[in-house]
Amino acid sequence: MSKIEAMSDKPVRLTAPPEGYADWLADLKGRIHTAQQRATLAVNRELVLLYWQIGRDILARQAEQGWGAKVIERLAHDLRTAFPDMKGFSPRNLKYMRAFAEAWPEAEFVQQAAAQLPWFHLCTLMDKLKNREERDWYLACAVEHNWSRNILEMQIETRQRERSGKSVTNFSSTLPKPQSDLARESLKDPYRFDFLGLTDEAKEREIERALVKHVTEFLLELGAGFAFVGRQVLLDVGGDEFFIDLLFYHLKLRCYMVIELKGGKFKPEHLGQLSFYLTAVDEQVKHPQDNPTIGLLLCRSKNKVVAEYALRTNAQPLGVAEYKLLESLPAELQTSLPSIEQIERELAGDDSPSDEDEA
C-alpha cells in the first residue's frame, strides 16, 4: 500500500476553512453542475442526431431499393447483437426513428431545435400530434420552459396552443411593445381547472380555496413566469378594507397581476372593481421599478363583444377570460391526464422513462 493510500484511510480532522473558501466552494459546485448539464445535453444531442440519421437511412433504402417493413425487424436483431449493452434498438424504437426523420426531414432543424429535447419527448410529439406546425410549437415551448415528458403530454391534451393568447384584452392600447405582446401571450382562454375536482355548482370562494390548495397545478395552468403572492390580500384604502381574490407577480413581465374570480357570466361592472384593485396595488404594493399592474377577470362565461366594448375605453391593462371546471373536460381526456401526484413529481424533476419506453 502506498503512503498516499495509507493516509487516505485515516480519519480527517476538519478545521475551520480559510477566508474565502466557502465562496470558492460554491463557485466550484456551480461549475461542476454546469459541466454535468453540458455533458448530458451533449450526449442527448448526439443520440438524437444518430436516431435521425438511422431513420433517414431506413426511409431512403425503403424508398429507393424497395425494402419492406421486415427489414426493421432484421436491423433490430443485428444491431442488438452487435451492441448488446446499448438500449434503443428495438423494432418499435427503429420505427420511431423512421417516423422522426419523416416528421422533421431537415437536418439543420434537427440539429438546432429537435436535438435539444430528450428522445422520449420527441416520441410524444410524434404520437400526439400529426400537424408539423403544432409539433414545432410544442417543441419550442418544451425547450423554452424545460417541460418534462408528462407535463408536455398534459399541455398537448389540454390544447395549450389553442388557448394561448386568446383572452380578450386591451393590452395593445394600455401597454408599450413588446410588453403588450408578451402580456397577451401570457394569458389564455379558457383556463382549465379540472385538477380541482369541482363541478359547475362550486362557489367562488370554494374555487379560490381549491386553487390555493393546489397552487402547484394552478401555476402550471397559468404558465411560465407566475409567482404566487397570496389569496384574499388585504388592501387598506382610506381606512376601508378590501380583499383581492388572488395576487401574483409575473417574473418576465416584471409586474403584479391581480386575478378576480366571478361565478357567473361577465358583466361590464366587474371591471370597475378590478380597476380599483389595480390602482390600489400600484399605489401601495408596486415597487417604482415594477411595470404597471395587470388585471385578469376569470368568469364562467362571457360575451366576447361585450367584453371588448367594456375594455376599449379603460386606461388600465385588463384581460377577460373564462375558466372551465370538471364537467367541461371530455371524458377521454379525464382519464389520460396525469394525476396531481404525477405533476408534483414532474415539477420535482423525476422524469425517468418507463420500462415500455426502454424496450
Residue 350 pLDDT: 45
Residue 308 pLDDT: 94
**Are 98 and 231 part of one and the same domain?**
no
**Are 266 and 330 part of one and the same domain?**
yes
Task: Give domain status of residue 69, yes or no.
Answer: yes
**Per-residue confidence of the chain (359 residues) as pLDDT tens digits?**
555 455 455 666 777 888 888 888 899 999 998 888 888 888 899 999 999 999 999 999 888 777 777 889 999 999 999 999 888 899 999 999 999 999 999 999 999 999 999 999 999 999 999 999 999 999 999 998 889 899 899 899 989 999 998 999 999 999 998 889 999 989 999 998 888 888 777 888 889 888 988 888 898 899 888 999 999 999 999 999 999 999 999 999 999 999 999 988 999 999 999 999 999 999 999 999 999 999 999 999 999 999 999 999 899 999 999 998 865 444 444 445 555 455 455 555 444 444 344 43
Consecutive H or E run containing 22: helix 21-65
Last residue of a domain, one of 108, 139, 160: 160
Residue 334 pLDDT: 46
Last residue of a domain, one of 160, 194, 213: 160
Task: Give domain status of residue 354, yes or no.
Answer: no
Q: How many domains does the chain have?
A: 2
**Are 200 and 189 part of one and the same domain?**
yes
Instruction: Rounding to the nearest 10 degrees, give the CA dihedral for residues 346, 352, 355, 359.
Output: 120
The whole-angstrom separation of Cα 146 and Cα 142 is 5
Task: Give domain status of residue 15, yes or no.
Answer: no
**Are 192 and 204 part of one and the same domain?**
yes
**Are 168 and 281 part of one and the same domain?**
yes
Task: Give domain status of residue 341, yes or no.
Answer: no
What is the pTM (predicted TM-score) of this model?
0.72
**Are 272 and 295 part of one and the same domain?**
yes
Of 190, 195, 114, the C-alpha closest to 159 is: 190
**Are 106 and 183 part of one and the same domain?**
no
Residue 68 pLDDT: 75
Residue 129 belongs to domain spanning: 25-160
Task: Give domain status of residue 257, yes or no.
Answer: yes
Last residue of a domain, one of 136, 160, 184: 160
**Are 226 and 177 part of one and the same domain?**
yes
Task: Give domain status of residue 256, yes or no.
Answer: yes
**Are 172 and 128 part of one and the same domain?**
no
The whole-angstrom separation of Cα 324 and Cα 333 is 14
Of 295, 202, 279, the C-alpha closest to 246 is: 295
**Are 233 and 173 part of one and the same domain?**
yes
Length of the chain: 359
Task: Give domain status of residue 236, yes or no.
Answer: yes
The domain that holds 205 is classified in CATH as 3.40.1350.10
Residue 87 pLDDT: 86
Task: Give domain status of residue 85, yes or no.
Answer: yes
**Are 112 and 41 part of one and the same domain?**
yes
**Are 137 and 254 part of one and the same domain?**
no
